Amino acid sequence: MAVFPLPQLEDNAVLLPSSQTNSTQPQLCDVWRDIQGAHNWNGLLDPMVPNLKAEALRYGNLAQLCYDAFDGKSYSKNYGTCYHSKRYLFNKMGMSESGYQVTKYVYANTNLLNQVFGEKPKDQGKNQEHHFADGVLIERGFLSCYTSTVRHRQGAAGATVNISSRDLVVSEIERLIQVYEKEMDNLSITFTGHSLGAALATLSAYDIKQMLCAKHNFHQIPVTVFAFASPRVGNPAFAKRVEEIGVKVLRFVNKRDLVPKVPGVCMNENVGCLSKLLHWLPWTYFHVGVELPLHNNSPFIQHTHNLAYFHNLELYLHLLDGYVGSKQPFSWSGRDHALVNKSCDLLREKYEIPPKWWQEQNKGLVKGPDGKWTQPSEEE
């Protein structure tokens, strides 16, 4: 997870894909509160307005960036961290024109996911349980990832400390709010993520909004989540509380993706009165916010029986790029369709894009002036 403060927008700035630029479209600076869900995106989704699609794709690209820039090679000396420093991330990943600045990397302890079903993490004490009191229950694995500590390096060559992703997120957002305190009327906080990242984004947004509500001067700051392929995060009381405190969540769901169907396969928001009567059961989970279903109606995509592919974030972004409305055919807006095959095999053969083509050159090794190949150190 990386923290990206919102870039400064000129008064005449319009953030639209080039193929959708239209003089009749409102300026983003005039409608940003609606884009952030001030009215629950009423009238903006079906059909989908270009400004909202552009912003959703922008946040989806940031989530994908976290995948692409993560060093998951167990033999690497930077294993489990970002390939690049905060200073060089966007330049190295081809997003130098993003308009954003990375201020903090946040890592979560995903090793605790093996304790999702039934076991309570040893370091999850009463403080965390009290924090989500009043009948609000969070899926244990997600809460563990959020509240349990992980070794975090302070700078490229600095010492490591044990700290939770929650503490990192809260402290950084508190710092940024102080930095932009004079712009409070134009300040918003947006979380995004895919799959587990979407669940943690929702949990973080809930936590941060609770913090803001406790501070009189900050309660009006909008908090929004653009969630891709998110599983359910908590029980009905959690979903109700998210709505009560004003967290706005827009969930993008591929209708053939299994992940958004769990947990709570049998007892969920779709069961109706029965789920309300049995809300106290530990296996009752509710989705939050507004759902935007994405259908696999792209002419670029071939038929497949590999259900895992339907969870792929690049496929989500491809389907979103072509989404016009719930009853409208796919309309390609210009996003490179080759990205779909970065880590899967979904494109039709006629496009001549090899499957799973995304790979790191020379497995990260670089050739030095002395002719020797070595692993580079992270940039300062």
Question: For the chain, give me the number of helices (H) and strands (E)?
Answer: 10, 10
Determine which one of 311, 321, 333, 343 is catalytic.
Answer: 311
Helices (H), 132-231: 140-147, 165-179, 196-213
∠ CA 136-4-90, nearest 5°, is 140
Q: Are 217 and 241 in contact (CB under 8 A)?
A: no
**Angle value at C-alpha 58, between 206 and 241, nearest 5 degrees:** 15
178: number of Cβ within 10 Å:
8
In angstroms, rounded to a whole number, what is the distance separating the alpha carbons of residues 96 and 88?
9
Alpha-carbon gap, residue 215 to 304, rounded angstroms: 51
- Concerning whether 333 is annotated as a catalytic residue, the answer is no
Spot the catalytic one: 195, 204, 275, 343. 195
Q: Could you tell me which of 59, 54, 30 has the C-alpha nearest to residue 228?
A: 59
Instruction: Report the alpha-carbon distance of residue 313 to residue 304 in Å, rounded.
Output: 16
Q: Which candidate in 257, 287, 298, 337 is catalytic?
A: 257
The answer to whether 355 and 315 are in contact (CB under 8 A) is no
List strand residue ranges (DSSP E) for 220-324, in order: 223-228, 248-254, 290-294
Q: Is position 257 annotated as part of the catalytic site? A: yes
Residue positions counted in the chain? 380
Q: 327 Cβ partners below 8 Å, 6+ apart? A: none
Cα–Cα distance measured from residue 138 to residue 223, given in angstroms and rounded to the nearest whole number: 19
DSSP 99: -
The Cα–Cα gap between 143 and 174 comes to 21
Nearest to 104, CA basis, from 152, 137, 68, 139: 152
Nearest Cα residue to 257 out of 221, 299, 308: 308
Catalytic residues: 195, 257, 311
